[in-house]
Structure 1
Amino acid sequence: MRRPALRSPRLGARGFTLIEVLVALLILSVMAGMAWTGVDALLRSRQVAESRLNTTLRAQSTLAQFEADMNAVCDTLAVPPLVFDGATLRVTRSSAGGVQLVAWSLRNGRWQRWASPAVTHASDLSEIWLKSMQLLGNEAAQVTTLSGISQWQFFTFRGNGWSNAQSSGDQVQNAFNGGVAGTASSSGIGKTGATAGTGAAGAASTIARTLLPTGVRVRLTFDPDGGSGLSGTLTRDILMPPQYQ
C-alpha cells in the first residue's frame, strides 16, 4: 500500500512580485495626491471666505462709523457743520468731551478718517477747522478705513431730491449778539450754538448758515485690482436726525 506524498506548505504559498508592489505604491500615491488636492482646495476656499468676510465686516464697520458721524452732527454756528469740497468731507460733531471736527477724504485709493481732539471753545474749533484744510494724510490721527477705492461721492437730500453736496444749500441768517449764538453754553460751545468771540469779533453781526440736509448719501466705487477684495459700487443712504435739520 502506497502512502500519499506529503506536500510542503511552501509550495502552495505565492508572494507579491516586484511589479505588483510598484503598481500598488503608484495607486496609493495617486490616491494620496488626490486627497491632498481636495484638502488643499478646502483650505484655500476657507481662507478666501474668511478674507471676504473680514473685508465685508470692515466695510460695514466703516460705514457704521460714517453713519455715527452723520448722526452726531452739531451746528455750533462757529464753523460750517457739514461741508464737502469734492475731495474732503468735514463734519462738526458732538462728542463726550465737547465738539470735534472729523474729516473724511480719499488719498491714493485709501478712504481715510481724521478726527480732532474734542474742544469746548469756538476759537479752538475755528483753529482746528483751519488746520483741517492743510491735512496731508500722514498725520497721527489719520486712520485708513478702507483701501482699493477708485472714487467716492457724497450727495445731500434737500426738498424732494438728491443733489450734489457742493451746490449751495438753503441759507438762513443768524444774528449774533454779544458773541453768543443760538443756545451756547458758558464754556463756549453748546449743543446747538457757540460763542462767536469777544471784543470786536463778538459784536452783534449777521452771518449766513447753510441748513443741514434731511439725508445724505455716500457712494464708494471699488477698484477690482485694488487688492481690497471688493468690486463694484457700495451706496449707503443716511437719514439725518430731525434735531439737526
Structure 2
Amino acid sequence: MKTARGFTLVELLVAIFALSLMAMLSWRGLDGMSRAQAQTSARADEVLALQTGLAQWSADLDTLVQFPQLAALEWNGRVLRLTRRDTTSATEGVHVVAWARREGQWRRWQSPPLLTRGDVTKAWEEADLWSQNQGGDEQLRREVVVAPLEEWQVFYYRGDAWTNPMSSDASGPGMAPNPFAAAAAAAVGAAGRTGRVALVPDGVRIVITLPPGQALTGRITRDWVNPQVGGGKS
C-alpha cells in the first residue's frame, strides 16, 4: 500500500514565492494602467479647457459693441479689453471683458451687466487693474483661468496687413454700424455724438505659446475676422 506524499517545505516556499511574484507583477500592471488612465483624463481636460477658452475668445469678439467716444476693443500690451453685448438680452446692458496672462496662466475677466456710460468706464479701468493683479476680491472672483500660458501676442489686421495694435493708425471717426448697437446704446444712454475712438480692426490674431509638459505644447495661432467685413464669418 502506497502512502500519500505531501509537499516539502522547500516546494511550499517556492510556490509561495512564485505566487508573490505574480501578484506583484499584476499589481504593477494595474497601477500602470491606472496612472495612464489618470494622465489621459487630465490631458483630455487640458485640451477641452483650451478649446473652450478659444471658443469663448471668438464669441467675445463676435459680440463686440461700439459706442460713441468709447473704445470697443483695446490692447495696451498687457491686457486686451473689449465691450460686448449681453447675449441673454440687449436690454440687460453690456459687459466689459478682459483677457490677460498673469502668473503663467491665460485668464479671462468679465464685469457684471453695465447700464450706464460711467459704469462702462469704471469697469474698463477695473479690468486694467485686474490684469496687474491689483484688483480686489470681487474682481478676482470674476476671473476664469483658461490654460497655462508661456506668452502671447496680439495683432490687428488693418490696411491689408497684420500690424501692431498699439500703432498710431488704430483710431478714426468710427466703425461701420453694428446691428446690435442701437438697443445696447439705449441701455447705456449713449449720446449721438461721434468722436475719435479706437476702430475695430478687420481681424484680430492671437499667437499663444503653451509651456512644455502639457497635453498641447508649442505655438497656436487663432484668427478672428470681423463679421462686418468677413461676410458674417469668423
| Interval containing the TM-score (normalised by the shorter chain) | 0.7 to 0.9
How far did 1:81 drift?
A: 0.7
Q: Quick check: 1:84 aligned with 2:75?
A: yes
Deviations 1:159-217 (A, max 9, x none): 3221222223454326xxxxxxx957783548xxx326xxxxxxx7x621332112111
Percent identical across equivalent pairs? 34
Give the C-alpha shift of residue 33 in structure 1. Answer: 1.3
Would you tell me which structure has more strand in proportion to its own residues? 1
Higher helix share: 2
Matched, 1:35 2:22: no
The offset of 1:68, in angstroms, is 0.8
Instruction: Give 1:32 deviation, angstroms.
Output: 1.4
What is the aligned counterpart of 1:214 among 199, 202, 220?
Answer: 202
Distance in 1, Cα, partners of 2:114 & 2:144:
24
One-letter code aligned to 1:164: N
Who wins on radius of gyration, i.e. which is larger?
Answer: 1
CA-based RMSD of the aligned residues comes to 2.7
Q: Distance in 1 between matches of 2:182 and 2:28?
A: 69
- The answer on whether the counterparts of 2:70 and 2:197 sit within 8 Å (CA) in structure 1 is no
SS at match of 1:39: helix
CA distance in 2, matches of 1:232, 1:54: 18
Query: Normalising by structure 1, what TM-score?
Result: 0.77
The residue matched to 1:92 in structure 2 has which SS? Answer: strand
Say if 1:221 and 1:231, in contact at 8 Å, map to a contact too.
Answer: yes
Distance 1:186 1:148, change over 3 A: closer
Which one-letter code corresponds to 2:2 in the other structure? P
1:238 paired to 2:224: yes
Offset from partner CA, 1:122-173 (integer Å, 9 cap, x none): 2332233233333325524432323432211111112322122222345432
Tell me, in whole angstroms, the C-alpha distance in 2 between the residues paired with 1:169 and 1:99: 27
- Mapped partners of 2:59, 2:9: distance in 1: 74
Compared CA separation, residues 144 and 230, structure 1 to 2 (3 A): farther
- Whole-angstrom distance in 2 between the partners of 1:188 and 1:49: 47
Residues 69 and 197, structure 2, Cα contact 8 Å, conserved in 1: no
Amino acid corresponding to residue 191 of structure 2 in structure 1: T
Q: Measure, in 2, the Cα distance between the counterparts of 1:186 and 1:90.
A: 18
Structure 1, gaps ≥5 residues long: 1-7, 175-181, 197-203
Structure 1 residues 16, 119: closer, same or farther in 2, change over 3 A?
A: same
What is the distance in 2 between the residues matched to 1:74 and 1:156?
17
Measured in 2, the distance between the counterparts of 1:155 and 1:80 equals 17
Paired residues for 1:8-157 under 5 Å: 8-10=1-3, 13-95=4-86, 96=89, 97-135=92-130, 136-137=134-135, 139-157=139-157
Contact 1:101/1:115 (<8 A) preserved: yes
Deviation, structure 1 residue 18: 0.9
Which residue type is aligned with residue 31 of structure 1? Answer: M
> Does structure 1 residue 195 correspond to structure 2 residue 191?
yes
Contact 1:157 1:216 (C-alpha < 8 Å) held by counterparts: yes
Structure 1 residue matching 2:61: 3-state secondary structure: helix
